[in-house]
Structure 1
Amino acid sequence: MASYEDLGFGKFKIYVELGYDERGKRNRRTKTITATSQRDLNKKIRDFEIKCFNEKDEPIDKITFSSFVEKWIKNHVEPNLTLTSKETYAYLLNECGVLDHFGNMKLKDIKKFHIVEYLANEQANHKPSIPNKYLLLKSIFARALEWDVIHLNPTAGIKEPKREKKKVDYYNEEELNHLFKVLDDCYPKHRIMIKLAAIGGLRRGEILGIREESLDFENNTIYIDKQLRYDKKKKKFYLAPVKNKKPRTVYFPKEFMEELKKYHVEFKARRMQVGNLWRSIHDDNDNMINLLLVREDGYPTHLNTMRNEWDKIIKRYELKHISFHQLRHSCASLMVKKGVNFKVIQERLGHANIGITLDLYSHLEEDQHKESTNVFEHLF
């Protein structure tokens, strides 16, 4: 029900009564508007009343999945999670059909069977990101239980769907040697970026997050503590902690660090030449961030640009096609073949735990397992 108060000079305050909430508190919305006639006033009252009823909070026992998700995003995702996690959740909800499937169902009516059936159908239809959809639903219903919106968590006891084991493709030692030879003819920045991935095992964001202060030419190391990210909504670059929030120091061959030092000297000369037109990004305190692998004018290099340039190099030199990320696998694979301790490989790659490293690369030791039987031959 709507009413209004005449404030004079063509201004009116509209009141819309929405009843009482579960605590017995009166629920009333107000809005001050300007109207030129009674007809205009009636229209604005009607429009505001419809808007209020469309946005009216649902009682907890009638709240739908989509309504709860809005509150889950507002009260949990937005204040607590990284931008990457927010974008992933938004993709799963809106692009991958989770909201389309569960959106209109009342939250309390969603049972374990509904989730098991949904995941099974997704699996049968070869839909993507099934394990991630499961983790998304698990997070949503865990908060619903914690906030007393539901009394039982329908995801409890449901096993996480198995992740499809992706084939780890990479360059072997001979292919890496060939790659490094053709890189001599490439643009210096692209050559450095590719070697940082193939020798250091760095991720794209970590490579682009390297600053001048990250370099230690005396000890031939680079400190990896940040990654470059891009906020699509704000359309701006920013530095975020590395994956797993575990900074690490990565050692490089002396020859590569000398090459990097030469690039750094030329980089500083170029920045001085550009002067005030240098387009560096700044931190929250408005301090310039001294990113190393940037465009000619100092503006950050986009992650997609790095991938595109790598694809061009593959095509130009007719290299075996692997993704830029698989240069990181090439680094790890070579270390496995050379007998480097898995703990050292884990720390170099920045994996959260050694289990991830073993799961990805232990199959490469198959030849070594076969050779290990040779030690028993003298017994027969």
Structure 2
Amino acid sequence: MASYEDLGFGKFKIYVELGYDERGNRKRRTKTITATSERDLNKKIRDFEIKCFNEKDEPIDNIKFSSFVDRWIKNHVEPNLTLTSKEAYEYLLNDCGVLEHFEKMKMKDIKKYHIVEYLANEQTEGKPLIPNKYLLLKSIFARAFEWDVIKINPTSGIKEPKREKRTVDYYNESELNHLFKVLENCYPKHRIMIKLAAIGGLRRGEILGIREESIDYENNSIYIDKQLRYDKNKKQFYLAPVKNKKPRTVYFPKEFMDELEKYHLQFKARRMQMGNLWKGIYDDDGDMINLLLVRDDGYPTHLNTMRNEWDKIKKRYNLKHITFHQLRHSCASLMVKKGINFKVIQERLGHANIGITLDLYSHLEEDQHKESVNVFEQLF
């Protein structure tokens, strides 16, 4: 028996019930698909249902790639990884063609050459995310080897594809000064959000995950330990640990903290005025999560809304085009220019290790290297 859930934007999640296993546990397979019409949707549901019933008694030592991926998600991804990682893996599998390429092949028949050839073809055709697809396949086959589904791991010894060198665009000091002048004419919430990125180097999810109790006005700091996420399947917001699961305290200028406190007081007055109409979100214990940068009715602000508002401000004031995330780069670039220690920059941005920080921003030290010559000029 098959059913489906409408995920929006032409995407649907199909559920196929396969009865119960020998332990009495419910057996169900799922697949996310894109459908262009109701007829197309019904056809894909039917095809997946037939496929599931044809494979339901598939011996583990003869299992196909698509069947093993379902078990890999159920037994490894869902219990051990975050929802964000699960969504990223499903995107690579379903939207980027990995599942389509390998799905009919038996796990035991997939050799190292098949994977090398697949990655090489992807590179030749200029398709993105090749290193991510490699890491996905590496994880799948590592679990298959660990669980004795295959005797040899075909990804073993395959060199990870090189990632393209990321170019970092940002606002320089004068451009940041101009931005802050422009922001004086903007809606207070949007002004606060942009400054949190440009001064604090915070990510979008971290900004929206700030709660009232995160703020320390006495020490001019904000404790960053959560990020706001959105579960597309459940259609609800939730708080997750920050990236790398390393909370950090970020310090801000007193002038900004005074501005934030003024906004905070207005926010509390609005919430009190709204009363029962306030649409906050709640934790597992039923307590309201005191998010600060929310919509006027108290409901969380979506990450895409923040990006869209930033695009409007850029267009309205004819600002140089950089993404909202690159405001974070602007923060780091200014600190590099001012000679701030890279370890301090790493901790402020919440990078997992200093290597990431050096890789992104070390090229900005070129001017400092040139200026260092001036130290010796007085000797001549």
**TM-score interval (norm. to shorter):** 0.7 to 0.9
In 1: Cα distance, 2:217 partner to 2:112 partner: 57
Aligned position for 1:323: 323
Cα deviation for residue 288 of structure 1 reads 0.4
Aligned position for 1:180: 180
In 2: Cα distance, 1:176 partner to 1:379 partner: 37
For residues 264-283 of structure 1, the aligned pairs below 5 Å read: 264-283=264-283
Aligned position for 1:171: 171
What is the one-letter code of the residue matched to 1:364?
L
Aligned position for 2:369: 369
3-state SS of 1:93 partner = helix
- Flag the structure with larger Rg: 1
**Does residue 1:122 correspond to 2:93, yes or no?**
no
Aligned position for 1:293: 293
Cα deviation for residue 364 of structure 1 reads 0.2
For residues 157-306 of structure 1, the aligned pairs below 5 Å read: 157-306=157-306
In 2: Cα distance, 1:248 partner to 1:67 partner: 41
Aligned position for 1:58: 58
In 2: Cα distance, 1:92 partner to 1:346 partner: 29
3-state SS of 1:230 partner = strand
Cα deviation for residue 341 of structure 1 reads 0.4
In 2: Cα distance, 1:362 partner to 1:212 partner: 35
3-state SS of 1:274 partner = helix
Cα deviation for residue 378 of structure 1 reads 5.2
Cα deviation for residue 369 of structure 1 reads 1.2
Cα deviation for residue 377 of structure 1 reads 4.0
Cα deviation for residue 371 of structure 1 reads 2.0
**Does residue 1:335 correspond to 2:329, yes or no?**
no
Cα deviation for residue 330 of structure 1 reads 0.2
Aligned position for 2:132: 132
% same residue: 85
Aligned position for 2:150: 150
Cα deviation for residue 53 of structure 1 reads 4.9
3-state SS of 1:284 partner = coil
Is the CA contact 2:64–2:104 (under 8 Å) kept in the aligned structure 1? yes
In 2: Cα distance, 1:217 partner to 1:209 partner: 18
Residues 71, 377 of structure 1: alpha-carbon distance in 2 compared, 3 angstrom cutoff: same
Residues 209, 51 of structure 1: alpha-carbon distance in 2 compared, 3 angstrom cutoff: closer
What is the one-letter code of the residue matched to 2:324?
F
Is the CA contact 2:141–2:154 (under 8 Å) kept in the aligned structure 1? yes
What is the one-letter code of the residue matched to 2:212?
E
Deviating runs (4+, > 6 A) in structure 1? none
What's the TM-score once normalised by structure 2's chain length? 0.86
In 2: Cα distance, 1:53 partner to 1:312 partner: 50
Cα deviation for residue 372 of structure 1 reads 2.0
For residues 81-120 of structure 1, the aligned pairs below 5 Å read: 81-120=81-120
Bigger mean CA deviation after superposition, 327-336 or 369-378: 369-378
Is the CA contact 2:214–2:223 (under 8 Å) kept in the aligned structure 1? yes
In 2: Cα distance, 1:79 partner to 1:92 partner: 19
Is the CA contact 2:122–2:130 (under 8 Å) kept in the aligned structure 1? yes
Q: Deviations over 1:127-147 (max 9, x none)?
A: 011000000000000000000
Aligned position for 2:31: none
Residues 52, 252 of structure 1: alpha-carbon distance in 2 compared, 3 angstrom cutoff: closer
3-state SS of 1:144 partner = helix
What's the TM-score once normalised by structure 1's chain length? 0.86
Q: Deviations over 1:91-124 (max 9, x none)?
A: 0000000011111111111111111111111011
In 1: Cα distance, 2:280 partner to 2:113 partner: 53
Residues 377, 51 of structure 1: alpha-carbon distance in 2 compared, 3 angstrom cutoff: closer
Q: Deviations over 1:134-172 (max 9, x none)?
A: 000000000000000001111011111111112100000
Is the CA contact 2:55–2:67 (under 8 Å) kept in the aligned structure 1? no
Residues 53, 292 of structure 1: alpha-carbon distance in 2 compared, 3 angstrom cutoff: closer
In 1: Cα distance, 2:94 partner to 2:197 partner: 33
Q: Deviations over 1:50-74 (max 9, x none)?
A: 8985242212332111111011111
Residues 217, 53 of structure 1: alpha-carbon distance in 2 compared, 3 angstrom cutoff: closer
In 2: Cα distance, 1:162 partner to 1:52 partner: 37
Residues 52, 71 of structure 1: alpha-carbon distance in 2 compared, 3 angstrom cutoff: closer
Aligned position for 1:46: none
In 2: Cα distance, 1:324 partner to 1:240 partner: 21
Cα deviation for residue 379 of structure 1 reads 5.7
What is the one-letter code of the residue matched to 1:61?
D
What is the one-letter code of the residue matched to 2:194?
I
Cα deviation for residue 347 of structure 1 reads 0.3
Q: Deviations over 1:275-324 (max 9, x none)?
A: 01100000011110000000011000000000000000000000001000
In 1: Cα distance, 2:63 partner to 2:130 partner: 25
Is the CA contact 2:60–2:149 (under 8 Å) kept in the aligned structure 1? yes
Residues 201, 51 of structure 1: alpha-carbon distance in 2 compared, 3 angstrom cutoff: closer
In 1: Cα distance, 2:301 partner to 2:371 partner: 46
Q: Deviations over 1:160-186 (max 9, x none)?
A: 111111210000000000000010000
In 1: Cα distance, 2:51 partner to 2:199 partner: 58
In 1: Cα distance, 2:73 partner to 2:57 partner: 16
Aligned position for 2:351: 351
